[in-house]
Amino acid sequence: MSAAAVTVAVVLGAIGFVVALDRILYSTAQDSAREQAAAISTSISSGERSAPQALSEITSKGSLIQVLDASHRVVASSEPALADSSVSKLRPAPGAVATAQEATIPGEVGEPHAVVAQGLTDPSGTAYTVVVAKPLDVETTTVRTAATLLVLASALLLAILMVLINRTVRQALLPVESIRSEVARITQVRGRGHITVPPSGDEIARLAETMNVMLGRLEQADATTRRFISDASHELRSPLATIRAAIEVPHAGTGADRERDAVVQGEVLRMQHLVEDLLTLAKADDGLPLTLEEVDVDDLVESEVRRLRATGTTPVTASITASRVVGDRLKLAQALRNVVDNAMTHTVGAVGLEVHPEGEVVVLTVDNDGPPVPEEQREAVFDRFTRLEESRERDRGGSGLGLAIVRTIVEAHGGTVRATSTPDGRCRFEVRLPLDAGTAS
């Protein structure tokens, strides 16, 4: 594209130069003819000389000069061969001047001329026309020579420019090729590594920096995927092993068999919940679908409080204020259930729930008497398969997907969830849902 643009520019420039030179030379020739016609006209109109005398005293300088009367007959001519015919059809009125460029005139076949005709009257009132035809052979030759030289110079210039452009483009693309080769090398080692950023500080350097950011994210995503697969395999392996062992032991229908069946059933349910959680997160990766309606969050909290009090011995306190949002009832209930179950798992005493509107949001807090999440782990605790060190035992820590699902559901509603602590130092999880949560999805 650059070469084509340069070629077009050079060609247009050459054409423009030739046209301008031709116009300048023609204008010069025309001015010379105009001066000759004016000198002859002045001499005749003043009465100082007759037409033949005025013509004989003017140096023709290679021009063809004629004086015509009112009947267009040649009164005087600088060329005897043209004494019987006019070299031009221009017939200006007295005092007027007309110009033309004739491709040829009688007796000068094939040779262009710049023609100037000036009308006048002598002291007796007789009208005349002075015609001066200036040959343009020198000017034409000059233009042709200039055009030929310009074509040769342009061709040479284009050749030099093509070489320079090609070299410049190749030199400019060397850093890009270097980046490409480094990306190819990084691809071969499964996306591990970074591109060397050129010290130029230009667009190429910014491209390398952007590529490094992208490679970093890809590497992190790859590591997350690997960790996810590893953790999921680990979590699924144990219940499957338990089920397999139970199936392989002969079944006698004794009390021990019933106990074993209960263990198998528990492991199956645990694996089912894990798979359901994995499916929920997998769907969320493609955009969590929401069925929107008006949801009374206080009703959801009341339902959880009744469930906890009916199924367990852990003390449960609640502070409930009427609060309503637009969202998906089932998914919000699932998120609340996960937060509450997490509190029940980690508490060493009571669990407290509170919900109330606060400006444009509804605030839901779930407290437990366990230690707060360490500050450096308050973001990681929402990652998939993340469990704190003190909760690594499977019967207490769960699969590590519950809080990840909470964050996914809350953020799909345009809200936020965070791990924090109560003023008296207990563990707290706080959920904030906008009143118009449904529009966020």
14-18, 286-290, 303-307: least confident range: 286-290
Q: What are the tens digits of pLDDT across the range 216-250?
A: 787 777 777 767 766 666 666 677 677 767 666 66
- What whole-number distance in Å separates Cα of residue 208 and Cα of residue 126? 89
The sign of the CA dihedral 193, 194, 195, 197 is: negative
pTM for this model (two decimals): 0.47
Residue 296 has pLDDT above 70, yes or no: yes
Residue 188 clears pLDDT 70, i.e. is over it: no
Is residue 305 classed as helix, strand or coil in its secondary structure? helix
What tokens were used for 107? 């007796």
Q: Which of 59-63, 120-124, 347-351 has the lowest mean pLDDT?
A: 59-63
Q: Would you state the pLDDT for residue 393? A: 46
The CATH number given to 203-285 is 1.10.287
Candidates 297, 270, 291; CA nearest to 399 is 270
Q: What is the pLDDT of residue 247?
A: 66
pLDDT digits (tens, 9 = 90+) for 127-147: 999 999 888 877 778 888 888
Q: Please, which pLDDT band fits residue 196 given cuts at 50, 70 and 90?
A: confident
10-24, 172-186, 368-382, 409-423 — which is least confidently predicted?
172-186
Which long-range contacts does 281-287 make (Cβ < 8 Å, 24+ apart)? 281/384, 281/401, 281/404, 281/405, 281/408, 284/405, 284/408, 284/409, 284/412
Share of the chain above pLDDT 90, in %: 23
Is residue 167's pLDDT more than 80? yes
Higher model confidence: residue 58 or residue 106? Answer: 58
**DSSP sequence for 199-245:** TT-SHHHHHHHHHHHHHHHHHHHHHHHHHHHHHHHHHHHHHHHHHHH
pLDDT value at residue 438:
47
Mean pLDDT computed over 393-410: 72
Contact 136, 100 (CB under 8 A): no
Mean pLDDT of the residues in the chain: 81
- The pLDDT value given to residue 440: 47
Query: CATH class for domain 293-440?
Result: alpha beta
At residue 11, the pLDDT reads: 80
For the chain, give every domain's residue range: 2-141, 203-285, 293-440
The predicted model gives 254-279 an average pLDDT of 69
Q: What is the pLDDT of residue 109?
A: 52
Strand partners, 295: 325
Whole-number pLDDT of residue 294: 93
Rounded to the nearest 10°, the torsion over CA 257, 263, 265, 270 is -170
Structure tokens at 75: 């009164």
pLDDT at 3: 66
Chain segment 63-112, per-residue pLDDT in tens: 888 888 888 888 888 887 777 778 888 889 988 999 888 776 765 556 78
> Above 60 in pLDDT, residue 411?
yes
Instruction: With beta carbons less than 8 A apart as the criterion, state whether 139 and 22 touch.
Output: yes
Judged by average pLDDT, the poorest of 210-214, 301-305, 354-358, 359-363 is: 210-214
Strands (E), 29-140: 64-69, 74-77, 97-102, 113-121, 127-135
For residue 390, pLDDT over 90 is answered with: no
User: How many whole angstroms separate alpha carbon 152 and alpha carbon 194?
Assistant: 51
Q: Quick check: 440 and 414 in contact, CB under 8 A?
A: yes
Report the percent of the chain where pLDDT is more than 70: 81
* Whether 334 contacts 300, CB under 8 Å: no
Residue given tokens 């109560």 in the structure block: 422
Looking at mean pLDDT, say which of 184-193, 200-209, 302-311, 396-405 comes out highest: 302-311
- The pLDDT value given to residue 244: 67
Q: How far is Cα 263 from Cα 251, in angstroms, rounded to an integer?
A: 14
- The DSSP code sequence of 332-395 is HHHHHHHHHHHHHHH-SS-EEEEEEEETTEEEEEEEESSPPPPGGGTTGGGSTT---GGG-SHH
pLDDT-derived band at 284 (thresholds 50, 70, 90) equals low
CATH number of 2-141: 3.30.450.20
pLDDT at 437: 56
- Which pLDDT value is given to residue 24? 85
Token readout for 66 is 């004629």
- Give the pLDDT confidence score for residue 250 in this predicted structure: 63
pLDDT by residue (tens digit) across 313-346?
A: 889 999 999 999 999 999 999 999 999 999 998 8
Helix (H) or strand (E) holding 271: helix 255-285
